[in-house]
Amino acid sequence: MSDDVRTAAPPPSESETGWVEAALADFAPMIEDGHDFESVTGKIADIVLVEPKKTPRGWILGFAIAFLILQVFFLSAGYLLVKGTGIWGLNIPVAWGFAIINFVWWIGIGHAGTLISAILFLFNQDWRMSISRFAEAMTLFAVACAGMFPLLHLGRPWLFYWLFPYPASMGTWPQFRSPLVWDVFAVSTYATVSLVFWYTGLIPDVASLRDRAKHRAAKVFYGMLALGWRGSATHWHRYQLAYMLLAGLSTPLVLSVHSIVSLDFAVSVVPGWHTTIFPPYFVAGAIYAGFAMVLTIMIPVRKFYKLKDFLTERHLDNMAKVMLVSGLIVAYGYAMELFFGWYSGDTYERAMLLNRLGGPYGWSYWLLILCNVAVPQLLWFKKYRTRTLPLWIICQFISVGMWLERFVIVVVSLHRSFEPGAWGFYHGTKWDWGLYIGTMGLFLTLLFVFMRLLPMIAMFEMRELVHKKKHPGGHG
Amino acid sequence: MSAPARTVPGMLRELETKALFAGAALVLFSMAWGLLFRGATFFRGYLVSYFFWLAPTLGAMGWLMIHHLSGGGWGYVIRRPLEAAAKTVPLMAVLFLPILFGMHHIYEWATPEAAHDPVLQSKAAYLNPLGFAVRAVVYFIIWGVLAWRLIEASRAQDEEPGPAASARLRRLSGPGIVIYVLSFTFAAVDWGMSLEPHWFSSIYGAIFAVGQGLSTMALAIVATAWLAGRRPLDQELTVRRLHDLGKLLFAFTVLWAYLNVSQLIIIWSANLPEEITWYLRRSQGGWKQFAFLVVALQFVIPFFVLLSRHTKRNVRLLVPMCAVILVARYFDLYLWLAPPFSAVPAFRPHLVDLTAFAGIGGLWLAWFCRMLRGLPLIALGDASFSPAAQVKEAPAHG
């Protein structure tokens, strides 16, 4: 029997979704009508291959602003290296402030890219095709921004290699039982795999750019990046295998990185940090923030570069649905924190809850609930999922909300711990804010460079979509 | 699958009769044993088995709602078994009565001694007999209404397929999932976590929900594979759909391990007296070896077997794997729920554990078969039903 099954099984590349999609006529398409291979490739490649003199003014303006904000980063980091971490607002009892809040915020944002390119790929979700490249690039840049904070918080960032277990003559050795050390491995693995995954996906497209480029310099640049890709059947076969294996490798990373970040807090005995729901709830929060950021960037880009044919209402709708689901999981996490804080019967847990809800920082908790729980409920309605302006505004609420969530966890839990004699307050100094805003400059600068130099939508995957649209049931 | 001439309704009727008599006899035997000899032993076996069989009842609703929201051929082939399983809510409500009336024998917080325990006193606003009973009634009303409305909307889709019927199912499923997750979380706290009333873990509801998803998926695959030995489902359970079901089974296996490891690392690292006792109790007197067995059966073996594409696409390999997972599910629940029943920390299973399991299981299966007989096996209104699929794809039963 098994032999029959194997021989009669359809080829693995054929997706079942084809005719299901056809049956669900009330959904918007994944690519608008009237496109063929040439129009798809041309439209996306031309954004990159436009002559330097004809670079759109909007891009130049946007890049200039981003680059200006990047200078704030250099200033804040430079001054920090001269004066030391004393210029930050950190002190006892709040010894972990903006540095960890911003680290967690940025690293969470990266997760959307990995989810889209790895998990949705494994589950044959074709709608990921036009957003994966962009989201993966965002992942890389967000991880780069995130890495700045622990690195600079080291005080002497040039000694970062002490974190690795190398045979040091000073006899230093990482504490392997600390999740902070796991973080080093998790985040560096994450950055490496994301980079390789992203680059592998780029190879067929940079080869197209090489072939279409007119200028000698562009031909050489893309030619080197293309690693000799000729598009032969063997190349495609190996490419698909490599891409699937990388997707499989990336999938556990979606869970592991933010779970380990959550353990930084949860393995301690600090009320407000030590609770078992943290790992899944942090992962959901990361996906939530990540999709909000993808949409925040993608909605204006889609309008500016007139990419509505490839980034349709369907994409907005689906991404908004992912946000709704991950947002509800996050809300479930908040509910569990509240209930079990009380149910524990523990004096300190209950005191932490009361302080969180009604203490001096109570406003931050209620603002967090407004941003992360109340406002996003609008996403239940289709009109908020598919209209760009309301959706964009909701995304801003979520981005702020996810920052506040980390503020509540880090600052509000620490500022009043067990002994009232040790209570205190915390606020970020201008250098804290400068570094945070500065990393946004870094993020945006990298994004603008990416949009100018590389195709922001996978051209060959869009050609696959065009092909599938022509043959909705596969090739019988 | 010995006599191909028999039809599905005939098979179901035969199973129903046998399961009903065996189940009723075994439940009565277990109860009689509990009354005559040792109540705690009966309640231990009964509660663990109750949790095991409640899983497919509630998990079926969860999977149905996920299917209605996301679509896909995988959900369409298991849809009828799931609907039949969801219809067992009234049976599970009746079977809850021994727990409700026996709560003073099961839960420490319901005994008079709890009045002298300051921690239990501080939780008494939640953990008290009246609240427990009222909440149980509320849970069953919620689940009953949800199951009834889901099946009604599904029947409406059978009669008049189209976008409107599908939209009705989606509109029901979105809020339905939220209500289901919340109600189940608190039910798990009430009936499971409060067995050790000093202990708490905020991931508890999530771990039970994933376990439920896993049990239900394994049972649904077994049931569908059995039904697909004959017409009409034989043409519908294709290799690709089986593969998708296998993928979901694999995903939930990994999720189970992920959530359990999360809880273990956090509690082990902090090593707080009120939390670590839960693990200490389960790491002595034979429980430790049993816990390792659970990890092997529930994660290590299914992980490596289901990693292979070949297993997920082959009925003859996937069904035995589901059986292993179901055994592991029972062992896992036993590990979570049984230890507090004995004062001595010793792993001592009893015959009544087995009779209670088979008894409740027999009644559940009988009810399930009866409900399944009343449903057309193919959901013609489902968006995934399409004659094209039959031409294109190979049936998994060769």
**Which residue in this structure is represented by tokens 């290799």?**
B239
- Computed on alpha carbons and rounded to an integer, the radius of gyration of chain A in Å comes to 24
Angstrom distance (rounded) from CA A25 to CA B13:
40
Nearest beta carbon to residue B200 from set A4, A25, A343: A343
- What is the pLDDT, as a whole number, of residue A475? 53
Chain A residues whose CB is inside 8 A of the B163 CB are 24-26
**Comparing A383-387, B5-9, B57-61, B323-327, which segment has the lowest mean pLDDT?**
B5-9
Residues 6 or more apart whose Cβ sits within 8 Å of residue B336: B192
Per-residue pLDDT at B336 exceeds 60: yes
Check: CB of residue B9 under 8 Å from CB of residue B372: no
- The three-class DSSP label of residue B395 is strand
Counted domains in chain A: 1
Please provide residue A274's backbone torsions phi and psi, each rounded to the nearest 5 degrees.
Answer: -90, 90
Domain residue limits at A86: 28-157+174-459
Whether residue A16 lies inside any domain: the answer is: no
Q: Quick check: A18 contacting B, CB < 8 Å?
A: no
Give the closest-approach CA distance of B179 to chain A in angstroms.
11
Chain A contact set for B240 (CB, 8 A): 9-10, 16
**Does residue A18 form part of some domain?**
no
Using the predicted structure, report yes or no on whether residue B35 has a pLDDT greater than 60: yes
Average pLDDT, chain B: 91
For residue B383, list chain A residues with Cβ-Cβ distance below 8 A.
20, 23-24
- Statement: residue B23 has pLDDT above 80: yes
Is B200 within 8 Å of A344 when comparing Cβ atoms? Answer: yes
Q: Cβ(B223)–Cβ(B77) under 8 Å?
A: no
Q: What are A226-242's pLDDT values in tens digits?
A: 999 999 999 999 999 99
**CA dist., res. A265 & res. A275, Å (int):** 9
What backbone torsions phi and psi does residue B397 show, to the nearest 5 degrees? -90, 15
> Does residue A59 sit within a domain?
yes
pLDDT tier at A363, thresholds 50, 70, 90 = very high
* Whole-number pLDDT of residue A473: 58
The ipTM is: 0.94
- Cβ neighbourhood burial of A418 (10 Å; 0-12, 13-18, 19+): middle
Instruction: List the single range of A247-251, B116-120, B368-372 with lowest mean pLDDT.
Output: A247-251
B123–chain A Cβ distance below 8 A for any pair: yes
Residues A384-412, mean pLDDT to the nearest whole number: 96
What is the nearest CA distance from A442 to chain B, expressed in angstroms?
Answer: 34
Cβ–Cβ below 8 Å for B392 and A25: no
**Buried b vs exposed e over A118-128: b needs ≥16 C-beta within 10 Å?**
bbbbeebebbb
Chain A, nearest residue to B315 by Cα: A2
pLDDT at position B1 over 60:
no
Tell me the CATH number at A285.
Answer: 1.20.1630.10
The span from the CA of A465 to the CA of A12, in Å, is: 16
Instruction: Assess B263–A contact: CB distance below 8 Å, yes or no.
Output: yes
Q: Does A381 touch chain B if contact means CB atoms closer than 8 Å?
A: no
Contacts of A474 in chain B (CB under 8 A): 392
CB-based contact A343 B178, cutoff 8 Å: no
Task: Give the pLDDT score at B388.
Answer: 43
Q: Is B259 on the interface with A (CB under 8 A)?
A: yes
Cα–Cα distance, A258 to A256 (Å, whole number):
6
All residues of chain A having their beta carbon less than 8 Å from the beta carbon of residue B270 are: 267-269, 274
Mean pLDDT along residues A277-306: 95
Judged against a pLDDT cut of 80, whether residue A476 lies above it is answered with no
Is the CB of residue A280 less than 8 Å away from at least one CB of chain B?
Answer: yes
Question: Is the per-residue pLDDT at A474 higher than 90?
Answer: no
Q: Is B387 an 8 Å CB contact of chain A?
A: no
Q: Give the pLDDT mean for A70-86.
A: 96
Total Cβ atoms within 10 A of residue B12: 21
Q: Determine contact: A119 vs chain B, CB below 8 A.
A: no
Domain assignment present for residue A7? The answer is no
Q: In chain B, whose CA is at the least distance from the CA of A178? A: B269
**How many other CB atoms are there within 10 angstroms of residue A300's CB atom?**
14
Check if the beta carbon of residue A304 is closer than 8 Å to that of residue A269: no
In this predicted structure, the answer to whether residue B4 has a pLDDT above a threshold of 80 is no
pLDDT, tens digit, for every residue of B360-389? 999 999 999 999 998 888 777 776 665 444
Count A/B contacts: CB-CB distance under 8 Å. Answer: 126
| Crossing angle between the packed helical segments B239-270 and B204-227, to the nearest 10 degrees | 160
List the single residue in B122, B178, B266 with the smallest CB-CB distance to A267: B266
Whether the CB of A23 is below 8 Å from some CB of chain B: the reply is yes
Cα distances from B201 to residues A339, A465, B185, B193, B335, in angstroms, run 11, 46, 12, 8, 16
Among A3-7, A451-455, B236-240, B353-357, the range scoring the smallest mean pLDDT is: A3-7
Q: What percent of chain B has pLDDT over 90?
A: 78
Residues of A in contact with B262 (CB under 8 A): 259, 276, 278-280
Q: Which pLDDT tens digit goes with each residue over A132-181?
A: 999 999 999 999 999 999 999 998 999 998 888 888 888 888 889 999 99
CA dist B268 and B304 (Å) reads 27
Q: Would you say residue A279 lies in a domain?
A: yes
Query: Is residue A2 less than 8 Å (CB to CB) from chain B?
Result: yes
Query: Are the beta carbons of B203 and A343 separated by less than 8 Å?
Result: no
Q: What is the pLDDT of residues B257-297, one digit of tens each?
A: 999 999 999 999 999 999 999 999 999 989 999 999 999 99
| pLDDT interval class at B397 (50, 70, 90) | low
Q: Is residue B391 predicted with pLDDT exceeding 50?
A: no
Nearest CA in chain B to A263: B266
Residues A445 and A458: their CA atoms lie apart, in Å, by 21
Q: From chain B, pick out residues whose CB is under 8 angstroms from the CB of A278.
A: 262, 266
Residues 183-222 of B with CB under 8 A from A: 185, 189, 198, 200-206
Res B236: pLDDT: 81
pLDDT at B394: 63
- Judged by CB atoms within 8 Å, which residues 287-306 of B form the interface with A? none
pLDDT tens, residue by residue, A40-77: 898 899 899 988 889 999 999 999 999 999 999 999 99
Residue A209 lies in a domain: yes
Kindly state the DSSP code that residue B229 receives in the 8-state scheme: T
pLDDT of residue B162: 81
CB-closest option in B72, B181, B266 to A276: B266
pLDDT tier, A14 (very low <50, low <70, confident <90, very high otherwise): very low
B162 touches chain A (CB under 8 A): no
Check whether B226 has a pLDDT greater than 70: yes
**Is there a contact between B206 and A280 if contact means CB atoms under 8 Å apart?**
yes
For A226, residues 6+ apart whose C-beta sits below 8 A from its C-beta are A203, A206, A207, A209, A210
| pLDDT above 70 for A27 | no
Per-residue pLDDT reduced to its tens digit, A94-146: 998 999 999 999 999 998 888 888 888 887 788 888 899 999 999 999 999 99
Q: Alpha-carbon distance B81 to A409, whole Å?
A: 44
Check CB contact under 8 Å for B394 and A335: no
**How much is the mean pLDDT over chain A?**
90
CB spacing of B262 vs A328 below 8 angstroms? no
Residues from chain A contacting residue B182 (CB–CB below 8 Å): 332, 335
Q: How far is CA A214 from the centre of its chain?
A: 34
A17-31, B159-173, B281-295, range with greatest mean pLDDT: B281-295
Judged by CB atoms closer than 8 Å, whether chains meet at B384 and A275 is answered as no
